[in-house]
Amino acid sequence: MEIVMVVTVLAIMLLLAFFRASITSWVLAVMVIVPVIAIQQRFSDDVLMVVGSILFVYIVFFGIPFTRRIVVSGTALKIFRKILPQISATEQEAIEAGTVWWDGELFSGNPDWNKLLALPKPSLSSEEQAFLDNEVEQLCAMLDDWDITHKRADLPPEVWQFIRDKGFFGMIIPKRYGGLEFSAQAHSAVISKISSRSGTAAVTVMVPNSLGPAELLLHYGTNEQKEEYLHRLAQGKEVPCFALTGPLAGSDAGAIPDYGIVCYGEYAGQQNVLGVRLTWEKRYITLAPVATLLGLAFKLYDPNHLLGGEPNRGITLALVPTGIHGVQNGRRHFPLNSAFLNGPTQGKDVFIPMNFIIGGTSRVGQGWRMLMECLAAGRSISLPASSMGGMKLATRTSGAYCRVRKQFKTPIGKFEGVEESLARIGAHTYMIDAARQLTALAVDLGEKPSVVSAIIKYHSTERCRIVINDAMDVHGGKGICLGPDNYLGRFYQQMPVAITVEGANILTRTLMIFGQGAIRSHPYVLKEIAATHDHDHNRALHQFDDALFGHISFALSNAARSLVFGLTAGHGIHTPDGIETRRYFQQMTRFSAAFALSADIAMAALGGSLKRREKISARLGDVLSQLYLCSATLKRFENDGRPAEDLPLLHWALQDALHKIQQAFEGVIQNFPNALVRGLLSVLIFPLGRCLSPPSDRLGHQIATLLMQPGEARDRLTAGIYIPDDEQDAVGSLEAALASTLANEPLLAELEEARKAGKLTELEELPRISEAREKGIISAEQALLLERDYRLRRKVIMVDDFAAEELRAGY
């Protein structure tokens, strides 16, 4: 009887937790369960008195909101205020910047997958598609990356002019100011296509449309500033750049030493103009060497109280025409043989009027928040798009090269070692392109997804590095010899640039993804923090009480759900329709609950020290990241109409991600500093042990096969890149060689059989083709096809060589 009662009580508690019961429901349950137990056990009067007293206290302290707020929540609020780690002003602004989007669902422990699938399918307008098919296509055809990177170290003048004339600098600027007013999806597609041809051109187009003067003016500029500058920016009459990073403030951009002093000065011949005297030293600023309009971040001081208020006014943003006396720019950095224009800029006692401050005096001191909000949108588009251009190029060329190039009379892509690399190349490209499209869609829906933008920036650049490395491996000598016929070498050289900019990847992974997400995306933490900072005691107490007990219910629910889903391996969880994807949705729901639980336990057990436990934070961020990438991949598969040909890519990408989630959880558990917590997490998340495996060799073989032959799946995977039809072009010849190889292999096999039979005696391939034609083994038309096939294959496998003086001329 006792065992049945214990099991019953535990089952009731588990159900209450599983379905996220409110504190009132818990109180009512205790009010029923305790008397029943007391009656069943026939306790003595003394025991009943003790039990009744405990029950009374419990009901008073937890069941009555007024006393609960005063005794329980009030005490907890005081403790929270003491132990809550100090958050700097810049950290607070970074946390509050942007919006919570799908990351909030993943933090909930119970994502609404129908909500994800109901999002509109990413698409382009007819005008945007026409721009891609015409202006972008023309631009790509004008680009010779070897000439740009090795000979000129710059874009040709005619390319610069084309970019200006066709409005490439004004993609994000509304039409009323002369811009193109493209969607984020179109912006991303343009950058991705250009990047597949030239990284230099892509960056040149990307920067004016990312974080910089145009975007800042659109969101925060005064009407006068918009009218003065946006028309000129859209027409390419102004070349913009934005200067934030300096020698003493890189990742810690909030520590910038650059400053401005509010004072009166002379400007444009006028005396006693109220303005700012600026001094700065910045570096790594793209387009700074040729910029005519400099966006500048600095700390503003008003020692004479000319603006009123405090003397230390905080980070402020201004527009500085580079023609003003005292502005120094023009020198260049040389980032890993990249030819995009990047360099330092300095200024000493440069005076500007107050109306040069972006947004005017009402925006003084709001610079950091402005930057964080714009960065959330810009980082969602530019770097993922440029990375995707390189990944798709590597995917398409690696598959073709591995089919055309033969060793031991076998295409090298059929060797299992090469298949491993091709599988990673294809699956990573499939997943990251899905995330690129989904994140751009979020921006088009009006979101400024700060946490999601950190996820996509980190993983698009990291996966791009993996893909380019694998592509270099399978290309072998073809990849390492630079020259006009090398389409991978510059991407390989320049990958660390993307890894470093807009938040270095180490910092992004260890501090930003989970560190920001745990506060920003969690359903209760930000509310609890806000309550601790509220000086209105009564309001703070009510808000904190609601958040605290909502948080407790949330944590208990995720603990119960994590345990149940761990015991069932996620079976039984309701998912959207789709036999191919059902188990993935179930596993992701299971891991979402486990992630929410782990985040709460880590924050509760480690408190403020979690900020310094970067490895644990990074692993929890890995879980959140993989859940987002899986979400995007499943959404893409649905958007594409669930094509069966894409299933190997879907399965490999998702199985790899889920296995990485398992590994990340294992890393959190093994390295958690508290043994009791380690045991608790292990039981709740993996009650039956670790059971997920990485993708199989069979899946890898299927992807490799998919990449090495023309087809709809290969075209979908690499859609949107520039593919020249010129057989003298390195990529164009490879495309032609792949088609020719597949078409002419039977004929070549006939020639080989004839050689073995002694009918052909020539040792080299071209003379043998002529001999076969002369002897009537093949027709004249077939001979022409084989001769073209030979030329194409030879062009594909040959590498560039130079006279010594040619190489010296490029350095």
pLDDT at 248: 87
* Dist. CA 421–CA 278, nearest whole Å: 52
pLDDT at 40: 56
Phi, psi of 298 (to 5 degrees): -155, 165
Looking at the predicted structure, is the pLDDT value of residue 47 above 80? no
What residue type is 126 in one-letter code?
Answer: S
pLDDT band at 578 (very low <50, low <70, confident <90, very high): confident
pLDDT at 375: 74
pTM for this one? Answer: 0.92
Give me the chain's average pLDDT, please: 89
Convert the pLDDT of each residue in 154-189 to its tens digit.
999 999 999 999 999 999 999 999 999 999 999 999
Q: Strand (E) positions, 196-306?
A: 240-243, 259-267, 270-286, 293-301
Convert the pLDDT of each residue in 681-726 to its tens digit.
999 999 999 999 999 999 999 999 999 999 999 999 999 999 999 9
Report helix, strand or coil for 252: coil
β-bridge mates for residue 317, sequence order: 297
pLDDT at 68: 74
What residue type is 760 in one-letter code?
Answer: L
Looking at the predicted structure, is the pLDDT value of residue 38 above 60? no
Using CA atoms, how far residue 742 sits from 267, 400, 728, 768, 772, in Å, is 70, 11, 20, 20, 20
Mean pLDDT of 143-161: 95
Are the C-beta atoms of 471 and 425 separated by less than 8 Å? Answer: yes
pLDDT band at 377 (very low <50, low <70, confident <90, very high): low
Q: Which two tokens stand for residue 534?
A: 């509220």
Catalytic residue positions? 502
pLDDT at 380: 87
What residue type is 726 in one-letter code?
Answer: D
Task: Output DSSP code: residue 121.
Answer: P
Using CA atoms, how far residue 659 sits from 131, 615, 664, in Å, is 41, 19, 9
In this structure, the number of other CB atoms found within 10 A of the CB of residue 811 comes to: 7
* Dist. CA 580–CA 346, nearest whole Å: 57
Phi, psi of 75 (to 5 degrees): -65, -45
Report helix, strand or coil for 156: coil
Mean pLDDT of 11-37: 51
pLDDT at 26: 47
Task: Output DSSP code: residue 357.
Answer: B
Convert the pLDDT of each residue in 723-782 to its tens digit.
999 999 999 999 999 999 999 999 999 999 999 999 999 999 999 999 999 999 999 999
pLDDT at 723: 97
* Dist. CA 267–CA 323, nearest whole Å: 13
Whose CA is closest to 422, among 386, 466, 459, 387?
A: 466
pLDDT band at 227 (very low <50, low <70, confident <90, very high): very high
* Dist. CA 28–CA 236, nearest whole Å: 69
Mean pLDDT of 369-376: 80
Report helix, strand or coil for 277: strand
Most confidently modeled range among 85-94, 198-207, 599-608: 198-207
Looking at the predicted structure, is the pLDDT value of residue 311 above 70? yes
Are the C-beta atoms of 123 and 445 separated by less than 8 Å? Answer: no
Are the C-beta atoms of 359 and 222 separated by less than 8 Å? Answer: yes
pLDDT at 381: 93
Compare 254 and 257 and report the one with higher pLDDT.
Answer: 257
Are the C-beta atoms of 463 and 391 separated by less than 8 Å? Answer: yes
Contacts of residue 459, Cβ cutoff 8 Å, sequence gap at least 6: 432, 435, 625, 629
Are the C-beta atoms of 244 and 371 separated by less than 8 Å? Answer: yes
**Is 682 exposed, middle or buried (CB count within 10 Å of its CB: 0-12, 13-18, 19+)?**
middle
* Dist. CA 718–CA 420, nearest whole Å: 19
Convert the pLDDT of each residue in 394-410 to its tens digit.
999 999 999 999 999 99
What residue type is 257 in one-letter code?
Answer: P
Using CA atoms, how far residue 615 sits from 269, 459, 507, 612, 702, in Å, is 57, 17, 11, 9, 35
Mean pLDDT of 76-98: 68
β-bridge mates for residue 273, sequence order: 265
* Dist. CA 115–CA 350, nearest whole Å: 52
Looking at the predicted structure, is the pLDDT value of residue 476 above 60? yes
pLDDT at 53: 59
Convert the pLDDT of each residue in 585-632 to its tens digit.
999 999 999 999 999 999 888 877 887 899 999 999 999 999 999 999
Q: Which two tokens stand for residue 141?
A: 């055809």
Compute, in degrees rounded to 10, the torsion defined by CA atoms 200, 206, 212, 217.
140
Whose CA is closest to 416, among 646, 706, 793, 702?
A: 702
Looking at the predicted structure, is the pLDDT value of residue 659 above 50? yes
β-bridge mates for residue 316, sequence order: 298
pLDDT band at 379 (very low <50, low <70, confident <90, very high): confident
Whose CA is closest to 655, among 436, 427, 434?
A: 427
Report helix, strand or coil for 598: helix
Compare 536 and 776 and report the one with higher pLDDT.
Answer: 776
Are the C-beta atoms of 238 and 280 separated by less than 8 Å? Answer: no
Residue located via tokens 């639980």: 597
In this structure, the number of other CB atoms found within 10 A of the CB of residue 583 comes to: 16
In this structure, the number of other CB atoms found within 10 A of the CB of residue 362 comes to: 10
Looking at the predicted structure, is the pLDDT value of residue 432 above 50? yes
pLDDT at 519: 82
pLDDT band at 9 (very low <50, low <70, confident <90, very high): very low
pLDDT band at 536 (very low <50, low <70, confident <90, very high): confident
Q: Which two tokens stand for residue 765?
A: 């391939």
* Dist. CA 386–CA 16, nearest whole Å: 48
Pairing state of beta strands 327-328 and 240-243? unpaired
Whose CA is closest to 424, among 748, 655, 623?
A: 655
Convert the pLDDT of each residue in 481-508 to its tens digit.
999 999 999 999 999 999 998 888 998 9
* Dist. CA 49–CA 702, nearest whole Å: 71
**Is 350 exposed, middle or buried (CB count within 10 Å of its CB: 0-12, 13-18, 19+)?**
buried
Among 87-101, 420-434, 535-549, where is mean pLDDT lowest?
Answer: 87-101
Mean pLDDT of 525-548: 83
Mean pLDDT of 337-354: 95
pLDDT band at 23 (very low <50, low <70, confident <90, very high): low
